[in-house]
Amino acid sequence: MPAAPSPSSGAASTDARRPAGDPAVSAAEKAAAKAWKVDLRELGRRAGSMREWEKTLPARPGWGVEMIGVPEGAPVSLHLRLESVMEGVLVSGTVDVPVTGQCARCLDPVEDTVELDVQELYAYEGSTTEATSGEDEVRRIEGDQLDLAPLVRDTVVLTLPLSPTCTPDCAGLCADCGERLDDLPADHTHEVIDPRFAGLAERFATLNDTRTDTEEN
Ligand SMILES: [Zn+2]
Ligand SMILES: [Zn+2]
C-alpha cells in the first residue's frame, strides 16, 4: 500500500478560513465544531458493522447561498446510518435543516425546513481510495473521526435555491407602488393622471358616455 501523505485538515475545511478570535470564543467555536465529528472507535473497522446516528446539532456558520441559508446555531436533525466498508465509512440518511431567507420576488421573509438526502463515502487514511483520489474528490476520515459538518454544508449549498420564493407562484411586487401583488386586489392598477388634469379627465369620461349613447340611437 502506498504511503499516504500526512493527514490534512480534511476534504473541505472551512475552519482554515475563519479568523482566530479571542480565546473564549475560539474555545466555544472548537466545541461547536467538535460536536459534528463522529468518533468511529465504537463502529470499528470490520466491514459490515453499522451504527445509527440520530442527533440534533447546532448549525455551523456560513451554510447558505445568497438569499437563503441555515441560521448559525439553528437545530439540524441528523438521521444517519454509518456503515463500515472496505475503504472507509459510508454515511447515508437524511438531514433536516431549518432555513430562513428572503423571497427573491417580493422580498418577504421565507422560513422552511428542508430535508436533505445524503450518501457519502469517507475514506480511511491509507486506503486505496484515499491514495487514488484527490482530497476534494473524496472525504477523509481523520484519525478516528469523521467530520459531518462539511458534508452537510456542501449538501445545503448545492440544494438551496438561488432564487427562493415565499410561494411557488408569488407574483412579486407592483412596479408602481412596490406593494406585494398577492396582497392587492386582482384589478390593482395605477392610472397615472396628473392631479391638475383630473377634472378634465372626468369631463372627458362624461362626454364619451354621452357620445356613445347618441351613436347607439
Ligand atoms: Zn414572494
Ligand atoms: Zn401598485
pLDDT digits (tens, 9 = 90+) for 88-130: 999 999 999 999 999 999 999 999 999 999 999 999 988 888 8
pTM for the structure as a whole: 0.72
Return residues with CB closer than 5 A to ligand 2 (ion): 174, 176-177
- CA of 66 relative to ligand 2 center, distance in Å: 27
- pLDDT category at 2 given cuts 50, 70, 90 is very low
* Nearest bound ligand to the CA of residue 108: 1
DSSP string, the chain: -PPPPPP-S-TT-SGGGSPP--HHHHHHHHHHHHTTEEE-TTT-SSTT-EEEEEEEEEPPTTEE-SSEEEPTT-EEEEEEEEEEETTEEEEEEEEEEEEEEE-TTT--EEEEEEEEEEEEEEEPTT-HHHHHS-TTTSEE-BTTEEE-HHHHHHHHHHHS-SS--SSTT---B-TTT--BGGGS-TT-------GGGHHHHHHHHHHHHHHHHHHH-
Q: Quick check: 4 pLDDT over 50?
A: no
- CA of 159 relative to ligand 1 center, distance in Å: 19
